[in-house]
Amino acid sequence: MERRILITGSKGQLGRALNQVLSEKSEITIINTDMGELTAYCPISLDITNAVAVMNFVQDLKPDVIINCAAHTAVDLCESDQERAYKINALGPKNLAAAAHAVDAKMVQVSTDYVFDGESDKPYTEEDTTNPKSVYGSTKLAGEQFVQENCKKHFILRTAWLYGEGKNFIKTMLSLAEKNPEIRVVNDQYGTPTSALELARAISKLIDTESYGIYHGTCEGIATWYEFAVEIFRITGNTVKVNPITTEEYPTPASRPMFSVLENKNLKRLGIYMKPWEEALQEYLF
């Protein structure tokens, strides 16, 4: 049966990965929207913070599924621009959820490990208590809550340390290594590097179900940013010297959770598994 899937923020890392994965399914028609420059790939401008425009657009096109990949993802900038962060990360999902509800569509809201405070010493499951420490984390949590309140058919999918086509940690490391004989990388924050392609594959399976609720979706395993960097250079055969440092030695405007490993408990219950992070990284780099 033909299905129409609306992707917002489709020019971002996850939006592009979803296009790659969902375009393999012949019954799916993808509607790509984003802000800024329009292209053949993304010919429609839709600002998710504009409630009227979102409602009108969704009521006209009547998608079966809305996947919200749009977000204010610049974690440090969110600290100094709280109003914009709240509009995009909280009110945007609210507008989309209300519109999804109006046309009886399923909605996927992508969220983050930064909804947790990172003070745990074991991986967080979907039932664990949230306690964001940054503007980014608290606005994303508000977005989750709006989606839960406004659209019954919701999947809230928390991911972490995402990389795909676009600006990401891997590209930053490779570019730093080109210009410097030695680089310093934080070695006391733990998480899981997650390939946007792997996440898109999980979303593609999840939207075929009616098992609504909260999900964690990260690759398997644990690493620090330093270990992530070392693995990037090992795979690419780069001999740059990587020096481990502490968070204190690399202060940033936004506070990051020290431990934000997520356990994909609910995805695994549905038989949806994501690759170990090293394997997914290898796939991305080659």
Ligand X SMILES: NC(=O)c1ccc[n+]([C@@H]2O[C@H](COP(=O)([O-])OP(=O)(O)OC[C@H]3O[C@@H](n4cnc5c(N)ncnc54)[C@H](OP(=O)(O)O)[C@@H]3O)[C@@H](O)[C@H]2O)c1
Catalytic residue numbers, as ranges:
136
Q: In this chain, which of 5, 65, 162, 203 binds ligand X, going by CB under 6 A? A: 162
Compute the distance between CA of residue 273 and CA of residue 247 in angstroms, rounded to an integer.
31
Is residue 49 near ligand X by the rule CB under 6 A?
Answer: yes
Q: In this chain, which of 5, 6, 30, 48 binds ligand X, going by CB under 6 A? A: 48
Calculate helix-pair angle for 196-206, 277-285, nearest 10 degrees. Answer: 110
Window 96-115: residues binding ligand X (CB under 6 A): 110, 112
Q: In this chain, which of 98, 151, 160, 183 binds ligand X, going by CB under 6 A? A: 160
Which residue, 159 or 187, is less far from ligand X as judged by CB?
159
Cβ neighbours around 136 below 10 Å, total: 26
Among 146-154, 156-164, 202-210, 257-265, the segment contacting ligand X (CB under 6 A): 156-164
Is residue 189 near ligand X by the rule CB under 6 A?
Answer: no
Which residue, 140 or 180, is less far from ligand X as judged by CB?
140
Compute the distance between CA of residue 168 and CA of residue 215 in angstroms, rounded to an integer.
23
Is residue 191 near ligand X by the rule CB under 6 A?
Answer: no
Is residue 31 near ligand X by the rule CB under 6 A?
Answer: no
Is residue 69 near ligand X by the rule CB under 6 A?
Answer: yes
Among 29-37, 58-66, 174-182, 229-237, the segment contacting ligand X (CB under 6 A): 29-37
Residues in CB range of 251: below 8 A, 6 or more apart: none
To the nearest whole angstrom, how small is the minimum distance from the Cβ of residue 256 to ligand X? 11
Q: In this chain, which of 36, 237, 251, 271 binds ligand X, going by CB under 6 A? A: 36
Compute the distance between CA of residue 125 and CA of residue 267 in angstroms, rounded to an integer.
11
- Do residues 102 and 61 touch, judged by C-beta distance below 8 A? no
Among 5-13, 23-31, 58-66, 252-260, the segment contacting ligand X (CB under 6 A): 5-13
Among 117-125, 153-161, 229-237, 272-280, the segment contacting ligand X (CB under 6 A): 153-161
Distances (CA, A) of 244 to 10, 18, 189, 247: 35, 34, 11, 10
Q: Which residue is nearest to ligand X (CB)?
A: 12
Compute the distance between CA of residue 248 and CA of residue 214 in angstroms, rounded to an integer.
33
Distances (CA, A) of 24 to 13, 157, 175, 186, 200: 18, 22, 32, 38, 12
Is residue 214 near ligand X by the rule CB under 6 A?
Answer: no
Chain residues in the site for ligand X (CB under 6 A): 8-9, 11-14, 34-36, 47-49, 69-71, 73, 88, 92, 110, 112, 140, 159-162, 166
